[in-house]
Amino acid sequence: MADSIISFLAAMIRYSTPLLFVALGVLVMEVSGIVNMGAEGMMIIGCLTGVVVTHHLNNAWLGGLAAMLVAGLFGLLFGALVLEFRINQTVLGVAFNLVGAGLTTTLNRAFFDGMNAGTTYGSFLGFPIPTYIAIGLVILAWVAMYKMKIGVQMRSVGENPVVVESVGISVKKLRYIACAAGGALVGFGGAFLSTGILSQFTENMTDGRGFIALAAVTFGKYTPFGTLGGVLVFGIGETLSYRLQAGGGAFPYEFALMLPYILTVLALCAFSRNAKDPAALGVPYVKSH
């Protein structure tokens, strides 16, 4: 019994790792006041980039780095469209998801079909090293948000950009930083899914994790450790779902597949009714002076 609990927890932690990166990326952007509805699209781009670069350079870390770079650039593009042209963030997010899915599907079919990553990340005490990095990032995010100047500024810009501008800090600069860092984290989450958990790219393999990440951040009331909690809720569901499918019993697998999502929705309903979004979340900012 104890063994099976430990193996369940271990699986849960492993399956939660990609989502944790993505959720932290979403968190960074949302705290600064930008709704990243396009995380799903940025993540799938990370998935493909990760596999392709890992395969060619035979190094998972370089694959992950490349995914960060590419998705980070998409993050910057998202930022530019939002900050310079003030495009509606929700609509833009949907567009990014469509582009991400379409682009990766087309490129994959045309050039990389069936490509195997070939290698993966090293592991330590049974867990892949990126898992430790992800947990380290949760702590780092907490330190940055509550112990560092940049965190005070980021939280402020998500609440009231006018105040931030009034003390001579550039709202755009802060939000561009958030977009680039957020995109890169989301991208690494994608790469870890395709080269750390699995070893190849499949179409739409992100399976809504970009949206689940949004839910996890809301569940976590826009705090790093809260977000970790939200990610683990989904992780429990996902692990249970695999177990139920693998068990081969009478449990209909369609319901097993639904489980992580239903659990996430229930958790949101139960614990996040009073979650207060950053006041300026999704609101375009126009400099007044």
Partner 1 sequence: MNFIELKEITKIYPGTVACDKVSVGFRRGEVHTLLGENGAGKSTLMNVLYGLAKPDGGTIFVNGKETEIDSPKTAIACGVGMVHQHFMLIPTLTVVENVILSLDEKKAFIDKKRVAARILEISQKYGLLVDPYAKVSSLTVGQQQRVEILKALYKNCDLLVLDEPTAVLTPQEIRELFVAIRNLIAEDKAVIFISHKLNEVMEISKVITILHLGKVVGSVNACDTNARELASMMVGKEVSFEVARGEQKLGGTMLEVKDMHAKDSKGVETVRGLNMQVRAGEIYGIAGVDGNGQSELIRGIVGLCKKTGTVLIGGEDMSKSTPRQILDKGVAHIPEDRQGMGVVMKMPIRNNLVLDTFYDEKFTKGVFLDWKKVDGQAGYLIEHYGIKTPDAGNPVSSLSGGNQQKVVVARELDKQPRLLFAVHPTRGVDIGATQFIHEQIMAARDAGCAVVLVSTELDEIISLSDRIGVIYEGVILGEMDRKDANYERLGLLMAGKRDEAAQTVGKEG
> Contact 37/93 with Cβ under 8 angstroms?
yes
CB atoms within 10 A of CB 118: 17
β-strand pairing of 123-124 with 127-128? antiparallel
Cα–Cα distances (Å) from 1 to 6, 35, 125, 233, 237, in that order, read 9, 43, 21, 21, 19
- Cα 141 to Cα 27: distance, rounded to the nearest angstrom: 9
Q: Name the residue nearer to partner 1 (CB basis): 4 or 288.
A: 288
Instruction: Pick the binder of partner 1 from 4, 110, 248, 289 (CB under 8 A).
Output: 289
Our finding on whether 147 is near partner 1 (CB under 8 A) is yes
Our finding on whether 150 is near partner 1 (CB under 8 A) is yes
Our finding on whether 167 is near partner 1 (CB under 8 A) is yes
Q: Name the residue nearer to partner 1 (CB basis): 159 or 203.
A: 159
Instruction: Pick the binder of partner 1 from 152, 198, 268, 283 (CB under 8 A).
Output: 152
Write the DSSP symbol of residue 128.
Answer: E
Q: Name the residue nearer to partner 1 (CB basis): 98 or 148.
A: 148
Of 158, 174, 184, 187, the residue nearest 44 (C-alpha)? 187
Window of 5-13, 113-121, 147-155, 243-251 that interacts with partner 1 by CB under 8 A: 147-155
Burial class of residue 276, CB neighbours in 10 A (0-12, 13-18, 19+)? exposed
Q: Name the residue nearer to partner 1 (CB basis): 52 or 280.
A: 280
Instruction: Pick the binder of partner 1 from 110, 273, 276, 286 (CB under 8 A).
Output: 276
Q: Could you tell me the smallest distance in angstroms from the CB atom of residue 129 to partner 1?
A: 27
Our finding on whether 23 is near partner 1 (CB under 8 A) is no
Of 31, 49, 155, the residue nearest 100 (C-alpha)? 49
Our finding on whether 32 is near partner 1 (CB under 8 A) is no
Q: Could you tell me the smallest distance in angstroms from the CB atom of residue 56 to partner 1?
A: 37
Cα–Cα distances (Å) from 26 to 185, 249, 262, in that order, read 8, 37, 21
> Which residues here bind partner 1, judged by CB under 8 A?
147-150, 152-153, 155-156, 159-160, 162-164, 166-169, 276, 278-279, 289
